Chains A and B, each alone.
Chain A
Amino acid sequence: MIGVGKIKQYSNVLDKPLSKGKQEVSLSAFAFLFSELVQYNQTQVDNIAELERRLEDAGYAVGARVLELLCHRDKGNRRETRLLGILSFVHSTVWKVLFGKVADSLEKGTEHEDEYMISEKELLVNRFISIPKDMGTFNCGAFVAGIVRGVLDSAGFPAVVTAHFVPMEGQQRPRTTILIKFAEEVLRREARLG
């Protein structure tokens, strides 16, 4: 039979590497599911801030699980303990698993020491979404912000994470920036570690 002998035999199931999982998911299926998620949450809320919070909470659960899975699969049950380490983990590893690419950029806020930004020219969840004018600055990227918060929080870096549209020159569509504001204790700990 073709392929026999190529598969390494493991005596113990625990020695077997964790499968990479299916790398590709239908974008349409995801877009419809996400659209339904937003629509459902819209029926449950009175205002936009509440909707944003609910989307973020939905993302939080994803983030917590993603961290668990990736630490086990890619890092041999270790997780990042330093600020920049965890940020680049989110920016590259998490982004790659969730969206198939690394995020467009990771920057440090210029005004505040505790702020970091992950920017994405076209966030996958926003690909097909047009925000009505009466919803103001609402951004469905709140879901992704929730994921980021979930990852950071579970890794011991409590932070406030929000998603914003940032207009770009010469581009019709604004880019989405995920703003991460770390809690004071995180920065204090970071300073102590040197």
Chain B
Amino acid sequence: MAAIYSLFIVNKSGGLIFYKEYGSAGRMDTNDSLRVASLWHSMHAISQQLSPTLGCTGIELLEADTFDLHCFQSLTGTKFFVVCEPGTQQMEGLLKHIYELYTDYVLKNPFYEMEMPIRCELLISTCRRPYRRIVLRCWGDECTLNFVFCSFFPPVH
């Protein structure tokens, strides 16, 4: 069994514009989620500069002991990333799917202001469904959340 813990959408200047949790345990408060988003944004930018390969577009996958972080960056610099259980498959497809939903329900909505937090009901409600479906299809059941975000920042000894 595998599950998705949370989904982030970050605008091109590193601000968190959409955040959603899937599950009950290991919740993050608003400040933490904003911090994670801007931290990831900076790490992503640094990784582009440090990468030995030419034309690197930044980190796509971060594997940790307790979670995987898959990231997709659109051509305009908006980043989509999901935090999921280690070893979860098909996350690239899921991120592309979310990107598609974003272009439909956010960018085609006349009341959305670019780079601002997403409050589009339609995206929020459709986001809820596809996930469940994808998770169910792949693993038969959704597992409970057991995700401790602190492991992102290992304690210093």
Contact = CB atoms under 8 A, between A and B. Distances in A.
Interface of A: 28, 31-32, 34-39, 42, 128-132, 135, 140, 172-173
7 contacts: A35-B109, A128-B104, A128-B105, A130-B121, A130-B122, A131-B111, A135-B111
A36 B104 CA distance: 14
Contacts of B125: 172
A132 B119 contact: yes
B108 A31 contact: yes
Contacts, number: 40
A95 B104 CA distance: 23
B45 to A, nearest CB: 30
B126 to A, nearest CB: 9
Contacts of B110: 34-39, 42, 129, 140
Contacts of A130: 105, 109, 111, 119-123
**Range of interface residues on B (Cβ < 8 Å):** 10 to 19
Contacts of A38: 110-111
Nearest to A42: B110
Contacts of B108: 28, 31-32, 35, 128-129
B98 to A, nearest CB: 15
A68 to B, nearest CB: 29
A119 to B, nearest CB: 20
Contacts of A129: 108-111, 122
Centre residue among A35, A37, A130, A132 by max chain B CB count within 10 A? A130
Nearest to B120: A130
Nearest to A138: B111
Interface string B96-129: 0000000011001111000000011111010000
A37 B111 CA distance: 11
For the complex of A and B, 8 pairs with smallest distance between CB atoms: A38-B110, A128-B108, A130-B120, A35-B110, A31-B108, A130-B121, A130-B122, A39-B110
A128 B119 CA distance: 13
Contacts of B121: 130-131
A174 to B, nearest CB: 11
Given A129-B108, A129-B111, A132-B119, 14 more contacts: A31-B104, A31-B108, A35-B108, A35-B110, A42-B110, A128-B108, A129-B109, A130-B111, A130-B121, A130-B123, A131-B111, A132-B111, A135-B111, A173-B122
